[in-house]
Amino acid sequence: MSVSAAGGPEVGERPSVRQLLAPAAARLAAAGIDTPQLDAELLLAHVLGWPRARLLSDSDTRADDARVAAFQSAVERRASAREPVAYITGRRHFRRLELEVNPSVLIPRPETELLVAVALGLPSATRVLDVGTGCGAVALALKDERPDLHVSGSDVSQEALQVARANSRRLGLDVSWLHADLLEGVAGAFEVVLSNPPYVADSERTALAPEISGHEPELALYGGPDGLSVIRRLLGQLQSRTRTRVVVLEVGAGQAQRVGALMRACGFGSVRSERDLAGIERVVVGERRA
């Protein structure tokens, strides 16, 4: 292979996968990205339409001019604007699914998979509502792994519901979608309510990474002065919906005890928390006593 003295391709020669990745990872590292090599690989695999593993096995393959330009543009979006990789690629993996995402929905996090894990033990044919479904991650993953459940997802954002419906169609998963502000106007009885509600306190805005504060929808992030405003509203609505026997909520670090107290005050007498892989009490489960 002919290379220049600097180790890159000769003038006029198309760069190989290896030659594209090295400067891209360096550019991302210089911009303060925590995972520069991983991000460069994900972006290049997306542009090439390859699985990421192929970058290693076919590292000498040369990219055409259009793909080189697309990759360089993607790297610059990541470096300059700190745009999340998931928004650039339009894809995010969640449990067994690959979901479409865009800036109208929160990017699904690994810790949110705990909501699904908790719900996997529900009795057959349970009616479940995922409140604030966003791209549909929790509702779709639950339906994928427990097809016997009757799963619905709701969101106040019509744009988010468009993404959820598109994911549902593409994946062939039968989930019902509802436009609602929490439970306002939601007809029918659901035995279980799941939610990853907005729980970031307003005072924590400046502490968030620029990928989050600068790109993800505020409606899905912020929960008022103490982060619990939306949770209070949801639990208040559930207080009179006694046919909902179980509520499962994702919460922020340090919020589990306060959320548990709110659940008890709203009629869920049995409360427990589940820790995520970092040891944080991430999911709080409330059950009505018989």
pLDDT of residue 1: 30
Q: What is the pTM of this model?
A: 0.91
End-to-end C-alpha distance for the chain, whole angstroms: 74
**Residue-wise pLDDT tens for the chain (290 aa)?**
333 333 445 445 789 999 999 999 999 999 999 999 999 999 999 999 999 999 999 999 999 999 999 999 999 999 999 999 999 999 999 999 999 999 999 999 999 999 999 999 999 999 999 999 999 999 999 999 999 999 999 999 999 999 999 999 999 999 999 999 999 989 888 999 999 999 999 999 999 999 999 999 999 999 999 999 999 999 999 999 999 999 999 999 999 999 999 999 999 999 999 999 999 999 999 999 87
Task: For helices 36-48 and 65-80, give the axis angle rounded to 10 degrees.
Answer: 140
Alpha helices in 112-214 (DSSP H): 113-119, 137-145, 158-171, 210-213
Q: Are strands 150-155 and 176-179 parallel, antiparallel or unpaired?
A: parallel
Cβ count within 10 A of residue 68: 17
Rounded (5°) CA angle 182-184-190: 75
Ordered DSSP codes for 233-282: HHHHHHTT-TT--EEEEE--TT-HHHHHHHHHHTT--EEEEEE-TTS-EE
pLDDT of residue 95: 97
Domains annotated for the chain, with CATH where assigned, are 17-80 (1.10.8), 102-287 (3.40.50.150)
Q: Which residues contact 8 (CB under 8 A, 6 or more apart)?
A: 15, 19, 23
- Would you call 189 helix, strand, or coil by DSSP? coil
Identify the bridge partners of residue 195 per DSSP, sorted by sequence position. 131, 249
Rounded (5°) CA angle 11-15-18: 135
Cβ count within 10 A of residue 138: 29
| Cα separations in angstroms, 42 against 14, 21, 104, 240 | 20, 10, 21, 47
The answer to whether the CB of 134 falls within 8 A of the CB of 100 is no
pLDDT of residue 8: 46
d(Cα 244, Cα 238) in Å, to the nearest integer? 7
| Backbone torsions φ then ψ of 222, nearest 5 degrees | -100, 135
The answer to whether the CB of 253 falls within 8 A of the CB of 279 is no
